[in-house]
Amino acid sequence: MAIDRLERALTSLRGLAIGDALGSQFFVPANRPLLDERKDPPGPWQWTDDTEMACAVVLHLAAGGTPVDQDRLVALFAEHHDFDRGYGPSTGRFLRLVREGGDWRALLGDLFDGQGSWGNGAAMRVAPLGAYHAGSLRQAALDAERSAEVTHTHPEGVAGAVAVAVAASAIASGRRAPGEIIDAVLERVEPGLVHDGVRQARRLLTLSDPRAVAEELGNGRKVSAQDTVPFTIWAAVKHLDDFEAAIWATAQAGGDVDTTCAIVGGMVAAGMEPHALPRWWNRKCEDLPSWLAFLPPARPGTATERDWKTKPMRSPEPLPAPERVWAPYEWEAIRRGLVPAEMEEKWFAYVEADRLHFHRSWTGYKIFEARFRSVPGGWQIADASVERDKAIYKSDDDGAAESARLHGMIDRLLLGYWG
């Protein structure tokens, strides 16, 4: 299901680019009065180094780059480094020296008296990586750490990247409860200033004024991870259902507006359907760079009953339906089903009308069936059943456990949410 993961990463990247490009317009004095009125600055909007580096991350993912290959990733950063995109002096010099053949590890050791950068640069580019690992919070955290270490070796710089990636992964997997998302971040971020700030962001979820929250958490003005990431996570989880409101709230807090809006845009877009971003903002935003053009794996065709040998259930037993609601774009992926490339992949799945059927690839016997229904926010299983003939399916688990297994198979096998 790599294409689905890549689609999520690309949607997050486009949200990041819009946030970056729009946010950067408010460094133009003539545009600042437009903020309070939430009026768009005149276009076109040009994105900055935030988007350029995020594009390199996505290019790495598109080439199958997980776990992150640090040498390859830093080479992509150096290869596509455009000085005019607004890089800081130390980062610009570092990437130039890498491009000229320097050892990036040795070069990093010479920066910041050997302590490493705790800036917000690793966090600003990482949301698409988190979206790529939708639902796999552990892998999102591990790859975020590796992606950060090629430019930011200070623990706070790394923690900022991990926090954003885990939040994006949780959002991309369908989580919508702000406190639940922040709790997932806190579980995976090492103790320190970023962790303390994210914990404070959770306490401030009752507030709605972004300026008041930024007074407590920071707004990126100090360009540090701890001064940037807690506020952006607050802004994202408070506005998950409204991309435009998320960006305006973030921008109105001031500070490092292009970076904070990029981070928030990437996180919120991670939970959106492809092509659901505001068209009018897309038109004003500069196109993504031509070097990002690649041919992703072909979208898998929709599986049908004719694609595999199938046999009906012999002794079906009703199951309690999972409470999970799958988003509309997830339902579209579920409807494509799964045709195994070989028998060892164990499962064949297809959807007919509103019914999902899971068959063993070796025998063809149906093991699970689930009927879906449309509900507010997406699609939910209305009723389900499992095969109870021990000659076909030997499990002794009770109905609740089998229901959880069905839920997990949908998320892992059809949506790629491993973790």
- List, for residues 249-298, the tens digit of each pLDDT value: 999 999 999 999 999 999 999 999 877 899 889 889 998 998 886 534 43
Annotated binding site for Mg(2+): 48-50, 256, 258-259
pLDDT computed for residue 53 by the predictor = 98
Q: d(Cα 19, Cα 47) in Å, to the nearest integer?
A: 9
Structure tokens at 336: 């494509």
Which range in 162-166, 170-174, 393-397, 412-416 is most confidently predicted, on average pLDDT? 162-166
18-27, 244-253, 322-331, 394-403: the lowest-pLDDT one: 322-331
- Binding-site entries: 48-50, 256, 258-259
Q: Taking residues 55-64, what's their average pLDDT? A: 90
Q: How far apart are the first and last CA of the chain?
A: 14
Matching residue, tokens 């009927």: 371
| Predicted local distance difference test score (pLDDT) of residue 65 | 66
pLDDT band at 310 (very low <50, low <70, confident <90, very high): very high
Please, which pLDDT band fits residue 27 given cuts at 50, 70 and 90? very high
Q: pLDDT at position 297, please?
A: 41
For the cut 60, the answer to whether the pLDDT of residue 152 exceeds it is yes
pLDDT value for 236: 98
Per the listing, tokens 């049908």 go with 304
**β pairing state of 325-326 and 355-360:** unpaired
pLDDT at 299: 42
Q: What pLDDT score was predicted for residue 342?
A: 61
Q: How confident is the model over 201-226, as pLDDT tens digits?
A: 999 999 999 999 999 999 999 999 99
Q: 257-269 and 49-62 helices cross at what angle (nearest 10)? A: 30
The CB-side HSE value for 189 (13 A sphere, CA atoms) comes to 32
User: Where does the pLDDT of residue 2 fall: very low under 50, low under 70, confident under 90, or very high at 90 and above?
Assistant: very low
Distances (CA, A) of 400 to 112, 318, 325, 397, 418: 54, 11, 17, 8, 21
pLDDT at 301: 65
The pTM (predicted TM-score) of the whole model is 0.73
Region for residue 32 given its phi and psi (left: phi exceeds 0; alpha: psi -120 to 50; beta: otherwise): alpha
Q: Look at residue 341 in the predicted model and tell me its pLDDT.
A: 67
Average pLDDT of span 110-130: 89
CATH pick for 2-292 out of 1.10.10.10, 1.10.4080.10, 3.40.50.170, 3.40.718.10: 1.10.4080.10
Lowest mean pLDDT among 6-10, 37-41, 342-346, 374-378: 342-346
- 311 three-state secondary structure: strand
What DSSP string runs through 38-103? T-PPPSPBPP-HHHHHHHHHHHHHHTT--S--HHHHHHHHHHT--GGGT--HHHHHHHHHHHTT--
User: Closest Cα partner for 184 from 164, 160, 167?
Assistant: 167
Joined together, the tokens standing for residue 153 give: 């070796």
pLDDT band of 344, cuts 50, 70, 90: low
Main-chain phi, psi angles of 296, to 5 degrees: -70, 165
What is the C-alpha separation between 124 and 50, in angstroms, rounded?
6
CATH 1.10.4080.10 domain position(s) in the chain: 2-292
